[in-house]
Each structure stands twice: as C-alpha cells, then as structure tokens.
Structure 1
C-alpha cells in the first residue's frame, strides 16, 4: 500500500483529504507543522508528500528544501499562489508538481497518481549509467560527478535521465515537459529552461560552454557524450 504524508495546519482540510485518499486505497499520515513533516519524511518510507505552503513554523518551500537534502520522494505542493515565478521557484527547489487552491479532491488524487507514476517510470532503466565523468545510479536515483554526489532535484534527475536515454536526439521544450512533468502539467514550457540551467550548473565544468547538454537553437536540447567525439 502506498503511504502518503499530508501536511497542512488546518485540521478540517486534513480530515477531508485524508478521508478521500483513504477511500482511494492510500495509507495516509498527517502533519500540521513543517518540523513534524521534515522529521516524518526523513524517518519513514513514503510514496508521496502533499505539502501545503502556508505552515505555522516553516514555509512549505523551506520544508521542501530540507526534505530534498535527504529524500527524493515525490512532492506535490498545495498553494494559493498562481504566479509563474512562484511555480518555477517551487519546481526549482524540488517540488514535482503544483496544485493551486481551490481544487477538487478528485483532481488531487489524479495529481498524486501522476507524480508517483512519473517517479516510477525511471526505476526500470539499467542500474548504472556512466557517461564521461557522470554516473547515474537508477536504483538510488543518485547522480555523481567524478565520484562526488550531486544534489539534484527530482525534476532535474528525470530531465537528465530522459536526455541520457537518447543521446544525440534533439528534444523540444514541450516534449521534455511531457516526459519530465507529465501531460497534465499546466505550466509554461520555458520552465524547462530553468531546469536545464540549474542542471548545467551541477554537471558541466563550464555551464556557459556545456559539453553534455547542448542547446539546439530554435528546436530545443540534446545530450552529447563528450567521450565519443
């Protein structure tokens, strides 16, 4: 049974959403503070976290950052903020998806299923992929460069593994949005540019002259293996 951590400081919302998720077959744990959420997320095996941004002690963004230091569990953020900048910031720090209030419980369940499905899609590749000085551990969902572990967000990890699976292929932004964030993502396709920029900062020796992730002007991006040139 999938275990979901639901984080919100309003008891009524916790009760309603917990009841609905339980009817769908999920095991639901709840937390009302950010500190409690971080502790549970780093000590309990979870399948997904539903995280409200407005918490009494820590912001949802702070909670997300702390969880990402220890875990790659999918995180669905709940927010009243609908601005593009807010969504991009959330995705950049490690959220897998955003759900803007008000929303229906049915939409919440659909989003939860989508983020968990996308997280599972990348567990079927070979255990290890080595490209240049990069090593990707599929079982651990971990990326290392010259043996040093890199702190990549779940979206950055999915973006990298998508590109690595098809070296030399040019991907359009909309294609990468579908692969990384799913068909139901409602954001702007330029969000991918933000993820590419952040990923280059982590994997490239010189992000301004990338060896791995190349820009194909007017089309999108492709992944090159510098050792095969």
Structure 2
C-alpha cells in the first residue's frame, strides 16, 4: 500500500489545528478525513476504516473517550495541542489506557516520523506460529518436535522439513518438484523418486495405517497434499 492510499482519521474540533495538520499530512502523501467528535469518528471508522487515528487529547478528555471504543487493530496517536504543554503524568494516563502514543511536541517532522514508524510496524508480516496443527498432528518448530495424537514421534531433519511444508499449506496440492525445491533448494539435483522414499518413511512414522494414509495423501500424477480436516 502506497502512502497515497493510506487514509488517516483526524479527530478534533479545533478547525485551525486540523487545517494545518491536514495540509501537512497531505503534503507528505497521506489522505486525511477530519471529524469533530468521538461519536462521528466511530461512525466513520465503521464506514471507512483508516490505517491510523490522530485524536485530539482535549476532545478525548472532554468526551470521555476510551481506547476500547476503537478497533484494537487501528493504532491511535493522542495529540496534545501544539501550543499547550503536557506533563509526564498526563501522558502516562493515555498510555496506560492503551493508546499507542501521546504526542506533546510542536515539531511536525517528529510527528511524521512517528506516523511512518507506526505504519511500518503495521505492515510487517506477522511471525509464523511456532506450533502448526492439522487434525491430531502437531509440529512445534521452536522445540523441533512432532506429535501425533499427543505422542511424540522422531523424524529425520528431511522428514521434519517435508512435513513442515505440508503444515504450512494444509489442503494445498504440492507437486513433487515444488517440494524438492522447498526442501532441498532449486539448485539441488535430486530425482523425484528420492522424495517418494522420504514420504514413504514419513508415513511409516505418522500414519496409523501407512497403506491408507489420512494425513499425507497422494494426488496421482501431481504430488501430495496434507488433509486439512
């Protein structure tokens, strides 16, 4: 998402301040929507969720706004009017209430830097879960352990990596060549038969009846998939 596609919601009844701040934000590539009450902000969020909210601290105090009124996924910067100082204890009140930042500085470049930093963090991909599950199968990547029905099974490093690829894409058919590329690397020369040998060995360890697998099933002429349910 480019900056021009990012809509910021500015919540303040101070028309002079919103005019100046809105112009500053738009000059730096952000679209802005201005509302004058907390109630109208909540209505606007339901219609067009912004990527970030700038909330006038005086309005917040006046209307008794709370962090839990707003979607938790949308970061909120509480703004102290640029011409008014803000004591440390006052700032801590909003931070302890769950707001992401209380900005009490007249320096607009500093505010822009905070906005960019927060949005960068929002765009960072979430860390993959350390425990992956499918039916009674579970893999703890942090502990490098696999259990079936709660019972620990010992896998070789290659078997572990093959199973990991299946658990990352449950229900998705993976061709033999794709599995080879993911596990051994695209530059590694290995015949598909070698993969079949590893799949056979994996089934011996995780399937109750390897001749009738319920986890890793063969898709004839293509490859394999992990049954999602």
Q: Please say which structure displays the higher CA radius of gyration.
A: 2
Taking structure 2 as the reference length, what is the TM-score of the superposition?
0.48
Q: TM-score, normalised by structure 1?
A: 0.48
Higher relative CO (CA 8 A, sep ≥ 6), structure 1 or 2? 1
